[in-house]
Structure 1
C-alpha cells in the first residue's frame, strides 16, 4: 500500500502513528477486506483493536449491509446464545416473542466479536458451526436457520494458553485465525506516544476552551520510557487528567510523575508465575496464623466458661447458705439431714469437696500441653505451629515484642509467656 493511501485511511479513521507494526496491521486489514475470510485481531487491552473491523467492513463488498460490534464479555452466559442466535417464543421465561438474534439480523453483513476469548464452551460450538456451514438453530427451536455473515473477532487473551487450559476450542481458534492481525502495544510504538499525546491535548483544549498543555524535554523522556500497561486508553486518561487538574500548562518531569503510576516497569495488571513455580509459603503462613488465632479463641472461651462456672458455684453456695439458715431458725435441721449448719457451711467451703471443673479449665489454659482433648502428637504439632507463628512475627518486627504482640492480636504479657514456653528466650 502506497503512502498516500495509508495516510487517507489514517485520516478517515482518526488513526495517529507511523510505527512500522501499526502500518503493517493496517495494510493487512485493507488487503483482506474484499474477501470473506475470518480475521482474528490480537492485542492488549486498550490498543484500539475496534478500529480494524470497522475498516475491514467499510472496505468490503458488504459495506452497504449491517455491521454489529458485540462485546462477548459483557453478555451474561445464560443469555448469550439467545443474543447471538435468537430464540423461539416461549423457549424460556420472558421469551414473549421470537427473536432473530445478531446472526439473523446481520445476514449479508459483518459481525465483530470483541473479547471472543470470553465465550462459553457451548456457545463456541454453535459459533464453529456457523463458521463451517453458515447454519445455526435458535434457542428452543428445531428448524435449521441459514446466515451469510462475515466474522471478525478480537481478543486480548493468550489463546494458546486458553486452549491448553480447556477454555477455548482449538478448532474454533483455527477457523477464526484464518488471517491474524497483531496490534502493537503503545510501549513499542516509540514517537507515536508523543503524537497521540499532542492529539489528545488538542481535543481537550478545543472541547473545554482551555490552553493546551505541553511537555518539557525531560517529561517527554519519561513518557517514552513508561511501559503503558493500559496502552492508548491509559495515555488518553492521563492526558485528560493533566489538562484539567494541572495548574501549569507546561508539564515538567515532577508534575508528570504525579499522574503516572510509580511502577513503570509493569506491563501487566496482574502478576503471574510460570507453571510449576508456585510457592505455598504465603498460604502456609496464613494457615499458621489462623490456627494460632483459633487456639487463642478457644482459650478465651475456656476462660469465659470458667468465670461463668465460678459465678454459678458462688450463687449455688449462697442459696445453700440461705436454706441452712432458714432451717436452723425453724429449729429442726436434723430432721432434714443437714446436721450442724456451721459444720455444713465449713464443709462446703473446703476446696476438696467443691466442684473443680473450672479449676481444671484454668489449668488447661495455663498448660496447653496437658489438653485432655488432644493426643501427645497433636499437642506437639500445635506447639510447633505456635512457635512458628511467634518466630515469624518477631522476625517481621525486628525482634520488637510490642509490635509482634500487636500483629498477633495478643497482649505483651501473653507474648512473653509464649516466648518462654517455646524456649525462644534462650536463642
Structure 2
C-alpha cells in the first residue's frame, strides 16, 4: 500500500516530510516481528501509527489492544498486563487473564511506556527476550506470542540516567523507532488540518464550514499547540459550535486558544535539573537561547540573499563573486563555525562600518529590490502564487506574507 493511500485510509492529514517518513517506516516495519518504539508528544497521533503497523502485519486477523500504562495504578499494572492467581492479593477472588493472554497471537500497544514502574519493566523485558511470563502470585511459566508496539512522550535516555527506566529494556524496545513531529513543526499542515476538521464538524453539526480570516492565519503558525493535533481538533469543534457566521477572526481565534501566552518562537533555556539549580545553569540556558536565535536569524538572512542573488543573476545585474560558504553556527566554547550551504549565495565583499542612516538606506533598497522581484514573478505567472513562489524559491505562505507586507496589488 502506498503512503498516500495509507494516509487516506487512516485519516492521517498532512504532507510534511516527517509525517510521510513516519508512514513509510510504519509500512516497512509492519510485516516483520520486531518491536517498535514510537516517539511523539501527547496529541500527535501515536496510536494511529500503531494501528497502521498491526493492520499491515501477519497478525492483522488477531486482536490488538491499546493500553495506556500511565493511566493504570502502579500497584495493579502487573496484574492487568500479566494476570494473577486467586488469593495472590486481597481482592484476587479468582484467577484472571492479563492483557498479554487476551491478545495471544496479536499485538499490544503500550502507550506512555516511560511511566511504567521498574518492577513491571523487568517482567516486560523477560517476555520480550524469552517469550514467557509469570502471573502475579504464580510460579507457573506461561508462554506468550504477542508483538509489542510501545510509545512515549518522554526522553527515555534521560529516564535511564535518572534510574527510572531500564537500559536493557530500552534497547529491546528501540529496535525500530518512529518519530511523530509536533504540530508546530509541520508547517502548512496546520492550515490543512484546520480545513479538514472544519469540514468534518460542519457536516456533524449541519452548518457551513468555518474559514480562517486572512489576518488569523499568522496566529495559527505562531501558536505552540501544546496539545498538538488533538488540541486543534477540539478547537475547531468548539468554534464550529460557538461561532456565528463562517469567518474565524483573529480575536475569536486568540480568545479560544487553550493557553493564551503559548506563542512561538519557542527558544527556551534548558530547565535546571537536580544537578544544576544554580545561577550558572540559568546563565548557560540564556546564552544557549541567544546563540540559537542568532543562528536562526543568520539562516533567514542567507535565504533572503540567496533568493535575491538567484533572481538577480537571471536578469544579469548581480555580480558572481563574493559568495559565502555557509551559515554561521555558534560554538559551545564561543565564536562561530560554518555550516556548508548546498548552493552558494551572493554576499557582497566586507565593507567598513557604516552609520545607522546608511544601514537603513541599504535595508530599504533591499526591500525595494525584493518587492520588484516578487512583482515581476507574479506578473510573469499571471498572479499564480504557487508558480511565483516556486520560481522565487520560497513557500507559498511566505510569498503571501510578503505580498501583504509590501501591499502588492494583484
TM-score higher than 0.5: yes
SS at match of 2:23: helix
Structure 2 regions of 5+ residues with no counterpart?
280-410
Tell me which of 192, 195, 199 is aligned to 1:195: 192
Structure 2 Cα separation of the partners of residues 222 and 92 of structure 1: 54
1:69 correspondence with 2:66: yes
1:138 correspondence with 2:135: yes
Equivalent residues of 2:205, 2:241 under 8 A apart: no
**Deviation of 1:112 (Å):** 0.4
CA 1:276–1:90 in 2, change beyond 3 Å: closer, same or farther? Answer: closer
Partner of 1:45: 42
CA 1:269–1:129 in 2, change beyond 3 Å: closer, same or farther? Answer: farther
Structure 2 Cα separation of the partners of residues 194 and 229 of structure 1: 16
1:186 correspondence with 2:158: no
**Deviation of 1:247 (Å):** 2.4
Equivalent residues of 1:204, 1:240 under 8 A apart: yes
| 1:374-403 deviations in Å (ceiling 9; x for gaps) | xxxxxxxxxxxxxxxxxxxxxxxxxxxxxx
Aligned length: 277
CA 1:270–1:96 in 2, change beyond 3 Å: closer, same or farther? Answer: farther
**Deviation of 1:265 (Å):** 3.1
| 1:109-135 deviations in Å (ceiling 9; x for gaps) | 101000011100000000000000001
Partner of 1:366: none
Partner of 2:308: none
**Deviation of 1:203 (Å):** 1.4
Partner of 1:91: 88
**Deviation of 1:275 (Å):** 5.5
1:118 correspondence with 2:115: yes
Equivalent residues of 1:40, 1:181 under 8 A apart: yes
TM-score, normalized by length of structure 2? 0.65
Tell me which of 24, 29, 37 is aligned to 1:27: 24
Partner of 2:335: none
Structure 1 regions of 5+ residues with no counterpart?
281-427
Structure 1 Cα separation of the partners of residues 266 and 54 of structure 2: 32
Partner of 1:148: 145
SS at match of 2:137: coil
**Deviation of 1:274 (Å):** 5.0
Structure 1 Cα separation of the partners of residues 233 and 17 of structure 2: 22
CA 1:269–1:50 in 2, change beyond 3 Å: closer, same or farther? Answer: farther
| 1:202-253 deviations in Å (ceiling 9; x for gaps) | 1111111122210122211211222211111111122122222222421122
Partner of 2:377: none
CA RMSD of aligned residues (A): 2.0
Partner of 1:157: 154
Structure 2 Cα separation of the partners of residues 255 and 163 of structure 1: 44
Partner of 1:278: 277
Partner of 1:403: none
Structure 1 Cα separation of the partners of residues 176 and 91 of structure 2: 39
Partner of 1:262: 261
Equivalent residues of 1:229, 1:269 under 8 A apart: no
SS at match of 1:41: strand
Structure 2 Cα separation of the partners of residues 89 and 134 of structure 1: 23
What are the equivalent positions in structure 2 for 1:309-324 lying under 5 Å apart? none
**Deviation of 1:89 (Å):** 1.4
Equivalent residues of 1:229, 1:266 under 8 A apart: no
Whichever structure has more helix as a proportion of its residues is 1
**Deviation of 1:271 (Å):** 8.6
Partner of 1:219: 216
Equivalent residues of 1:229, 1:267 under 8 A apart: no
TM-score, normalized by length of structure 1? 0.62
1:13 correspondence with 2:42: no
SS at match of 2:145: coil
Equivalent residues of 1:219, 1:253 under 8 A apart: yes
What are the equivalent positions in structure 2 for 1:316-355 lying under 5 Å apart? none
Equivalent residues of 2:36, 2:148 under 8 A apart: yes
**Deviation of 1:276 (Å):** 4.2
SS at match of 1:12: helix
SS at match of 1:79: helix
Structure 2 Cα separation of the partners of residues 208 and 268 of structure 1: 39
| Range 176-185 or range 246-255, more displaced | 246-255
Structure 2 Cα separation of the partners of residues 74 and 217 of structure 1: 41
Equivalent residues of 1:229, 1:268 under 8 A apart: no
